[in-house]
Chain A
C-alpha cells in the first residue's frame, strides 16, 4: 500500500469499515510511514473528539424541516445570482483593464506587492534549500524557516513550536481517553499482565518526564521534541493495545 491509497482509506479505517485484510495492510503501512501514521492519529482524535463532544448536538430536532429550509435558501440564492448575471457588462463597474474584471487600482497594486513579497520569500527559501548539503538528511535541528516564520506571523501557518504544542495536546487528550479504558479493564487482568503493564508504563513515563524537563530548558530542541512525541505515541499505543485485553 502506498501513501495515497493509505490516506484515501483513513476515514474508512477510523469508522471501522475496512475488511480485515485491508485493515491489516493499512496498519502495516502506518507502522513504516510516520507521516501517514500521524495523519491517521490526528484524524482518529478528531473523530473521537467529535463523537464525545458533539454526539448529542449532531441531530437537530426536526432534521427534515431543517433540510427543507436549507434547500429553499439555496434555491433562492441561485435565483438571485441568475438575476445579477443578466445585468449588462457595461453597468458592472469600471475596471482597471477596461474589461469585465472588477478590480480597483488599489487592489491591483496590493496584489502586485503581495506577489512580489511571496516570490522573494520563495526565492530565499529555494536558495536556502539549494545551498544545503544534498544528503537528504539535513534539517534535523533546523530553526523554523523564514517563510514559516512569516506565515506564522501572518497567522496563516504554524511554526514547528506551534505544531509541536498542538500535537502534544492531541496526544495528551488521546492518552486520557485510553487511560480511562485501561482503568476499567485492568481489574480483570492477571497479576503478571498488571505488573508488566506497570513496568512498561513506568519506563515510558520516565522518558516523557525527561524530555519534558529538557524542553522546558530548551524549547527549540528538536530531538527532544521528536522523542517526547514518540514516547507519548508509545504510551498511547501501549494503552490502546492493553485496553483490548
Chain B
C-alpha cells in the first residue's frame, strides 16, 4: 500500500478510509459465511403439567431447563451438514429423534439444543456424543444417557427417578433424593460428584473398583461399610428410603453436602 502514497493527487486520509471500508467489507463477508454454515430451529408447544420430553441426539449439546410457563420451547442451532429435525407432539410427549430422522445419512452436523419445559416435566434425553445439561426439573423422571463421551450436569433436580450414564466424562448431580426414589449414576471414566442435602435419606451402593476413591464426606456414618478391599461402599444414611447406586469403573465418586 505504501506505493499508493506516492501517487500524485491521492491524499493519505482518502486511502486510509478506503482501506478501512475494504476491511469492514471482508469481515462482514466472512461473518455472513459463518452464519450460513449454521441454521436455527425454533418451535413452541403448549404444555400441561405432566409433559414429557424425549430427545435423542446424534452429536451436540442438549440443555434442558425448567421454567414457570405452560409451554415447551425448543431451540436448536444446526451445524452443516444440516440435520433433519421433525419434532412430534404425541398426547403430552414431545418427541425429537435426530438419529431416526437422519437414518441412512452419513453426513449430519452437530445439533445443539436448548429446551425449556415446565418444572414438573419428565425429561428423557440422550446423545451419541456430546454434553447433557438438565436444570430445575421436579418431575417424575430425569434420564440423561450419553452413548460415548460427554459430561452430564444435573442441577436443582427433584425427580423421583434419575438415571445418568456415560462412558468418558464427568457426572455432576445437584439435587435431592426423594423418598423411595431410584437414583443410578454410571460412568466408565470420569468423576462422579453428587451434591445433596445433609438430611437426605438413602441406601447407597457406590463402586469405584480401579481408583477405590469413594469420598462420603459428611455422609460417612457407622452403617457405611467398605467391602471388596475398599472397592465398594454399602450402607444407609437416615432411614434409607431412596436407593442410590453409583458405579465409576475408572474414576472417583464423591458425596458433597449441599
Say yes or no: A231-B90 contact (C-beta < 8 A), given A197-B148, A200-B149.
no
**Interface membership of B65, Cβ < 8 A:** no
Q: Does A241 contact B128, Cβ atoms closer than 8 Å?
A: yes
Q: Does B209 contact A234, Cβ atoms closer than 8 Å?
A: no
A136 to B148, CA, bound (A): 33
A238 to B184, CA, bound (A): 18
Say yes or no: A135-B235 contact (C-beta < 8 A), given A140-B227, A196-B148, A203-B188.
yes
Q: Number of contacts between A and B (CB, 8 Å)? A: 108
Within 8 A of B (CB), among A192-221: 192-193, 196-197, 199-200, 203-204, 206-207, 210-211, 221
| Max chain A C-beta neighbours (<10 A), residue from B106, B184, B249 | B249
| Among candidates A135, A206, A211, A234, residue contacting B223 with C-beta atoms closer than 8 Å | A135
Q: Does B99 contact A245, Cβ atoms closer than 8 Å?
A: yes
Q: Interface readout for A129-155 with B: 1 if CB under 8 Å, 0 if not?
A: 000000111001100000000000000
Within 8 A of B (CB), among A154-208: 188-190, 192-193, 196-197, 199-200, 203-204, 206-207
Point out the residues of chain A lying under 8 angstroms from B148, CB to CB: 196-197, 200, 238, 242
Say yes or no: A230-B106 contact (C-beta < 8 A), given A137-B234, A245-B128.
no
**Interface membership of B201, Cβ < 8 A:** no
Point out the residues of chain A lying under 8 angstroms from B207, CB to CB: 223, 226-227
Q: Does A245 contact B145, Cβ atoms closer than 8 Å?
A: no
Q: Does B124 contact A223, Cβ atoms closer than 8 Å?
A: no
A188 to B129, CA, bound (A): 17
Q: Does A238 contact B228, Cβ atoms closer than 8 Å?
A: no
Point out the residues of chain B lying under 8 angstroms from A207, CB to CB: 188, 210, 249-250
**Interface membership of A237, Cβ < 8 A:** yes
**Interface membership of A20, Cβ < 8 A:** yes
Nearest CB to that of B247 among chain A residues?
A: A230
Give the A interface residue count (CB, 8 A): 41
**Interface membership of A11, Cβ < 8 A:** no
Main secondary structure of the interface of B (DSSP, over half): strand
A216 to B204, CA, bound (A): 29
| Among candidates A21, A136, A234, A238, residue contacting B93 with C-beta atoms closer than 8 Å | A21
Say yes or no: A237-B124 contact (C-beta < 8 A), given A32-B182, A140-B234, A188-B106.
no
Point out the residues of chain B lying under 8 angstroms from A136, CB to CB: 203, 240
State the Cβ distance, A3 to closest chain B Cβ, in Å. 12
| Among candidates A31, A242, A245, residue contacting B143 with C-beta atoms closer than 8 Å | A31
**Interface membership of A244, Cβ < 8 A:** yes
Nearest CB to that of A226 among chain B residues?
A: B207
State the Cβ distance, A61 to closest chain B Cβ, in Å. 37
Q: Does B128 contact A231, Cβ atoms closer than 8 Å?
A: no
Q: Does A223 contact B209, Cβ atoms closer than 8 Å?
A: yes
Q: Does B235 contact A234, Cβ atoms closer than 8 Å?
A: no
Q: Interface readout for B184-220 with A: 1 if CB under 8 Å, 0 if not?
A: 1010110000000000000101010110000000000
B4-12, B22-30, B160-168: which one contacts chain A?
Answer: B160-168
A242 to B161, CA, bound (A): 26
B contact set with A: CB distance below 8 Å: 54, 58-59, 90, 93, 95, 99, 103, 106-107, 124, 128-129, 141, 143, 145, 147-149, 161, 163, 165, 167-168, 182, 184, 186, 188-189, 203, 205, 207, 209-210, 223, 227-228, 231-232, 234-236, 240, 247, 249-250
A contact set with B: CB distance below 8 Å: 20-21, 24, 28, 31-32, 135-137, 140-141, 188-190, 192-193, 196-197, 199-200, 203-204, 206-207, 210-211, 221-224, 226-227, 230-231, 234, 237-238, 241-242, 244-245
Q: Can you name 11 A-B residue pairings with CB atoms under 8 Å?
A: A20-B90, A24-B54, A28-B124, A31-B145, A190-B107, A193-B59, A203-B189, A211-B209, A230-B247, A242-B147, A244-B99
